[in-house]
A and B are shown apart, each in its own frame.
Chain A
Amino acid sequence: MKLVNWTKVISISMALLLLLSGCANSTGTKNSSAETKDKVEAQPKQGGELTFALATSPDSLDPHRSGLAVAGRVFRTIFDNLVIQAEDGTIQPWLATEWSVSEDGKSYTFKLRDDVKFHDGTPFNAVAVKFSFDRIIDPKTKSGNALSLLRPYVSSEVLEEYTIKINLATPSAAFLSNLSQNQLGIVSPTAVEKYGDQFGKNPVGTGPFKFVSWTENADIQVEKNSDYNWGPSNVENKGKPYLDKISFKIVPEEATRIGSVQSGQVLAAETVPPQNIASLKNDPKTQLLTVNTIGLPYTLFFNQRKEPWNNVKARQAVQLAIDVDSIVKTLYLGTYERSWSPLTPGIVGYDKSLEGSVKVDIDKANKLLDELGLQKGSDGIRVKDGKQLTLNYVDGSPNREKRNDIAVIVQQQLKKIGIKVEINITKDVASVIYTNADYDLYGNSQVNSDPNALRAIYHTRTPEEEAVFKGLTGGSDTELDQLLEQGTAELDTAKREEIYKKAQQKIIKDAWIIPIYVFPYTVAASNTVNGITFDALGYPLFNDVSIE
């Protein structure tokens, strides 16, 4: 008797639940299509709060201390730079109005804007610039990326209140472009002295937004800087932002992050996984923004300290056997572009002629390995002196951008030419790669604004440098070294481009690397959000953003 009652109650409530969920779903769809129809272009609307979901948490909002890209996305709103790099690669004024370079290329004199002040009310001037740069080279600051960008900086001289001379140890063609990177933002000296090593939790700059609060693992809030009227050339709105507030939420799980845009809990979210890109494109309520990052693409590096990878023929065989097109298409479903060079498109000196230069050729690859005396054994794996030809492919964990899956496909592809690939996924990249150099093939990428980034990776390293950490290639080539050194010092852009083209060709010809893909920075946003743009490096800009 009682059992029957229970059955009824439960089945009725189940049916109700189903009914309710069905209703909610269908009304939701109707609303969305109505919204898209009513959408009209209008003048940017003032006010509102943009909620923006980040994939990971910044470690610090001190631009001189954090090297994380995600931190840069936040402190880009708080700090400004002396100059800005336009999309065409040219350097344009920002906090500096004009500049000149000495004949020996070792000192730069900047004239600064005289109408800028920090969020704490203190004036921006030459003293603040000197303070910022001297702070970066002070070991107590523990600068990482900022320090490598500022090099070969030696000192600054305050010539007048708004004129500063910066001295370098050696000429550097990358210097101006580096000054535009967000890690070299100008900080308020008063605030740094006030907060000490907690400045990263209380950042004060001159940017379009002021820092409000950081609740760890929940959100970082910034609000409109109403005094702002010194926007750089890469944004339309040079004055104060339209938005009242931006709230960066930290949502590490990708399905949750994309779901929170679709459910309307946030208005925008970064880093959309490839499998969601197609469905978001078809969603009438959302828009998808994509920008390719520039610098060094995701590249597989041979460890030339190891046999037989110190031999160009062995490397070329692998280069000819790996079908990069099919890897990129299979894993990223047409959402990532394949890369061909040690540099990404969009960077000064990128060599477009390399595109299409490497074609899969299994026969030629087999022939090259035959020439090395590596003969196929009964199991199809090549053997020399009783030793099987294995390739130790190391990759990091977690499986960022499906890089572990690339390893699996490469393993299948290299089987065809008799190479046994052993995949080694490690959480401890620092020891395996940089301390012990215990790998044959390892992949990495780097966001950078200048081709000089090649030098740190491809230039021959001294034993002292190797003692601190091992370089990625382990190779050495005098001709390449010369090109990279010339590239650093050459101030004539056209000549510089030629130098870097030669360097790229050399690296590909000698098969030092297998370039794989260019990483696109993606943002999914509600259709009500207008005006999200990106700087030359692919960092989002919020100066022009408005919410309907």
Chain B
Amino acid sequence: MTIVNKVLLKISTAFVSIIGSSILVFSIIYLLPGDPVLSMIDPSVATPEMVANLRKELGLDQPFYIQFSEYFMNVLQGDFGQSVVNSEPVLPKIVEHFPATLALTITSAALSVVIGVTFGVLSAIYRNKWIDIIARIIGLFGISMPTFWSGILLILIFSVFLNWLPGIGSDGWKTLVLPSLSLGFVGAGFIIRMVRNSMLDVINEQFIVTLRAKGLSERAVMYRHALRNALIPAITIIGLNIGELLAGTVVIETVFSRQGIGRIVADAIMAKDLPVIQGVVFFSAIVYVVINLLVDLSYSFIDPRVRRAN
């Protein structure tokens, strides 16, 4: 299989995943308990006609497959519908707020890689020394500490007590620091463990012994040869982690009062604003699929063995 064919195959499977996820998103929302129409109308003024009219207006009186196919056709034309709360079109709203979420996701991913790889490598090299213990504790906390809690803790320390960084808002790089740390910490926990384990595996392999026997400095052996091999599984984790990060923004954007699509979907869920929920979830699914496609493709550039296997 040529590399072009392989890329095309990957892209087409990505497309199938997007269609699949759209069906899933639509069905889950369709099956949610509760009548969206009743929750939109103030019960103190509702009349049966008003309820029926609104149901018709939203197309909710149609059978499932008609509702779905209409929605899907509209989405293909770039129309994600409009909010039932304030009649705003959904797609422009997502497009407006996505950059803030993207910035948060990227900085969090970067932080989790930097923290994760640094401590992962150090703890493998200095195995069972105190730095290894610290790295493992950080890893444990990262994985087990919920972001809403670490977020509040960071605000308390760096914003309320120390007054170094702003605790709320989404204007400027300063407002990115605390939320990215809080969110990046989770990924960092996983990456520390992953890198540490694969580093330990690689260190015990024979080619490392050969390199040492060749007389290479310990630094060169570790950073030039062992680390490179150990990073490959870490990249997979980073790709999968993007999904976690996107989901995490729902909580983090609320805790730090940032703008972003996580906030939009949280508000929409509270208001039962179906078109907005559908739009954001579907949009996030597309982002997730695309990022994982890129991660998949990047293997062939990072790992010569994958490239050669073609």
Contacts and interface: CB of A to CB of B under 8 A. Distances in A.
Q: Determine if chain A interacts with chain B.
A: yes
Interface of A: 3, 6-7, 10, 21, 24-25, 28, 53, 57, 59-60, 67, 139, 143-145, 147-148, 197-198, 200-201, 215-218, 249-253, 255-257, 259-260, 262-266, 427-428, 430-431, 434-435, 456, 464, 467-469
A250 B168 CA distance: 9
Given A25-B161, A265-B166, A431-B34, 13 more contacts: A10-B131, A53-B257, A59-B85, A139-B50, A145-B44, A217-B264, A218-B259, A256-B151, A256-B256, A428-B33, A435-B35, A435-B38, A468-B46
Q: Which of A10, A53, A198, A216 has the most CB of B within 10 A?
A: A216
A28 B46 CA distance: 54
B133 interface: no
Contacts of B88: 198, 201
Contacts of A435: 35, 38
B161 A24 contact: yes
B51 A468 contact: yes
A296 to B, nearest CB: 12
B130 A7 contact: yes
Contacts of A200: 86
Contact of B152 (A139, A256, A430): A256
Q: Which of B129, B131, B162, B257 has the most CB of A within 10 A?
A: B257
B69 interface: no
B169 A218 contact: yes
Q: Which of B33, B53, B167, B169 has the most CB of A within 10 A?
A: B167
Contact of A3 (B53, B126, B162): B126
Interface string B65-96: 00000000000000000000111100001001
A76 to B, nearest CB: 19
24 contacts: A7-B131, A25-B161, A198-B88, A201-B86, A201-B88, A216-B93, A217-B257, A217-B258, A251-B257, A253-B148, A256-B152, A256-B256, A257-B257, A260-B159, A260-B167, A260-B168, A263-B160, A263-B166, A265-B167, A431-B33, A431-B34, A431-B38, A464-B48, A468-B43
Interface residues of B, number: 58
B36 to A, nearest CB: 9
Given A28-B161, A249-B169, A144 B38 contact: no
Given A200-B86, A253-B254, A468 B48 contact: yes
Interface in B172-231: none
Contact of A259 (B35, B164, B167): B167
Interface in B247-279: 253-260, 263-264, 267, 271
B44 A148 contact: yes
Contacts of B254: 252-253
B41 interface: yes
Nearest to B51: A468
A410 to B, nearest CB: 25
B45 interface: yes
